[in-house]
Amino acid sequence: MANTNLGEGHEKTATGATYQNDGLRDSDVLSSPSLTNVVETGLGNGIIPLTLNRYDEADRNNPVSGNGCVRPNGTLGSTSELYVDTGIAQIDGMFYSIGSGTQLDIAVGTNYHPSYHASAIPNGTNPGDEAILLVYVDPRLPNNVGFVYGSYVDTATGLYPSSPSANLVRQNMILGSVRVGKGASGPVIHAIEDKRLFQRPGPVALSAMEHNTGDPSGPRNDFIAGLNAGALPQTKLGILYTRDPAQFGPFPQGVGQTHLFLNSDQGLGTTAGGGGEYQITPVHRTIKTMPIPYPGPTILPIGIPAPGGILFAPLLSEEDGMTPLINIDVYDGANNHMATMKEGFHFTASPTAITLNDPGVIGLVGAQEVVITYVHASHTN
């Protein structure tokens, strides 16, 4: 299936997947669960294609391999079991491990949420009866996967079963559409059609992330009643988000502003493992000025390039939140290095200016010029 585009919905009959044959494609006039998935993808929901992201991978565009793929367990027309391959889905800003590689039975009631169905899909009545059962992401159920089904119709009369819609009351991602028919002793699977949509993100506007607990250490959803806790982030997954860095260390830079963070895999909060939460902005940049004349007490305004001042505001050390990240070297008239200035004695810093004290008072007689090296974040205030 080398020509499959990840944005198509993967509803073609796939090479090597003989169980996909119902022909319900994006171009057909009948409605498809993938239309729902298109809406969900627009909301930022979808499958993270962690095993489809290598350009030299033979299965890069193979929709029937991994990443939450739904496959039959046994022979179509006689089995009631299917597999949901392990994968990662994003639903409403949370990431969930889906599937487990173990089989799920459509005739077992615990695979259905009681708000949709009190019991599993029943067996059909007529030999030609068929119903559509959707396999979808549901963080309220084991393995974060659930089933929801529609009504049986007798296909011998020329009818085609409709997809169920009960699941549409919540954000969710549909993984597969299963055609279920009458079996000898219970419902059986006639066909499984892939309905996943993968995330292919581009530029994204990020709003600041907040928690109702006031704890800023990374995104999590263990406080949402009734849902399984999402593992954020998953293995081989890093997530970008923005928030106020308040409480991120004793004196984080950028407090009171919205800054960019990376949560690396297996590093959320107190979760064991590597990774971690990293503040990316403000970006540290270093400037070294030209020589600045130092004939006596000198005030260097911030926002004016050297030699009249310094162009950017120095960042403050995150250790104490007061010490500016700045070095000032003093030279005499013969370009000999005399001293490196000490803050509070040789100079003082404010949000608007750097003040160099009188060289005659602070033991720097003969000083002629200074060179300032400082760390900034590309802004002047």
φ, ψ of residue 326 to 5 degrees: the values are -145, 140
Nearest to 284 by CA among 314, 244, 322: 314
- Helix %, strand %, coil % for the chain, to 5? 5, 30, 65
- The predicted pLDDT at position 240 comes to 83
Single out the residue in 253, 281, 309 at which a domain terminates.
281
- The predicted pLDDT at position 207 comes to 72
Q: Is residue 174 part of a domain?
A: yes
Which residues lie below 8 Å from residue 9, measured CB to CB, with a gap of 6+? 25, 26, 32, 34, 37, 38, 195, 196, 197
Taking residues 193-221, what's their average pLDDT? 69
Taking residues 136-154, what's their average pLDDT? 94
Q: Is residue 199 part of a domain?
A: no
- The predicted pLDDT at position 350 comes to 93
- Could you tell me the pLDDT band of residue 2, with boundaries at 50, 70 and 90? very low
The DSSP secondary structure of 328-352, one letter per residue, reads: EEEEETTS-EEEE--BTTTEEE-SS
Q: How many domains are there within the chain?
A: 3
Q: Is residue 15 part of a domain?
A: no
Same-domain pairing of 217 and 347: no
Single out the residue in 281, 298, 331 at which a domain terminates.
281
Name the residue with higher pLDDT: 372 or 26.
372
Residue tagged 């000490």 (tokens): 342
> Containing domain of residue 73, as a range?
33-194
pLDDT at 19 > cutoff 80:
no
Name the residue with higher pLDDT: 356 or 197.
356
Coil, strand or helix: which one is 155? helix
Taking residues 58-77, what's their average pLDDT? 81
The reply to whether omega before 233 is within 30° of 0 (cis) is yes
Same-domain pairing of 49 and 151: yes
- Could you tell me the pLDDT band of residue 273, with boundaries at 50, 70 and 90? very low
Rounded to an integer, what is the distance from CA 231 to the centroid of its chain? 11
Same-domain pairing of 128 and 44: yes
Distance of alpha carbon 236 from alpha carbon 254, whole angstroms: 29
Same-domain pairing of 148 and 58: yes
Q: What is the mean pLDDT of the chain?
A: 83
Nearest to 146 by CA among 135, 160, 154, 155: 135
Same-domain pairing of 142 and 234: no
Same-domain pairing of 289 and 222: no
Q: Is residue 21 part of a domain?
A: no
- Specify the pTM: 0.66
Same-domain pairing of 138 and 96: yes
Span 76-133, pLDDT tens digits: 999 999 999 988 899 988 889 898 777 899 999 999 999 999 999 999 999 999 999 9
Contacts 24+ apart (CB under 8 A), 109-116: 110/141, 110/142, 111/141, 111/142, 111/145, 111/146, 111/147, 112/146, 112/147, 112/148, 113/138, 113/140, 113/141, 113/146, 113/148, 116/146, 116/148, 116/166, 116/167
Q: Is residue 53 part of a domain?
A: yes
- Could you tell me the pLDDT band of residue 379, with boundaries at 50, 70 and 90? low
Same-domain pairing of 149 and 298: no
Taking residues 41-64, what's their average pLDDT? 73
Q: Is residue 235 part of a domain?
A: yes
Q: Is residue 16 part of a domain?
A: no
- The predicted pLDDT at position 340 comes to 96
Name the residue with higher pLDDT: 20 or 331.
331
Distance of alpha carbon 68 from alpha carbon 173, whole angstroms: 11
Same-domain pairing of 277 and 290: no
Single out the residue in 225, 254, 281 at which a domain terminates.
281
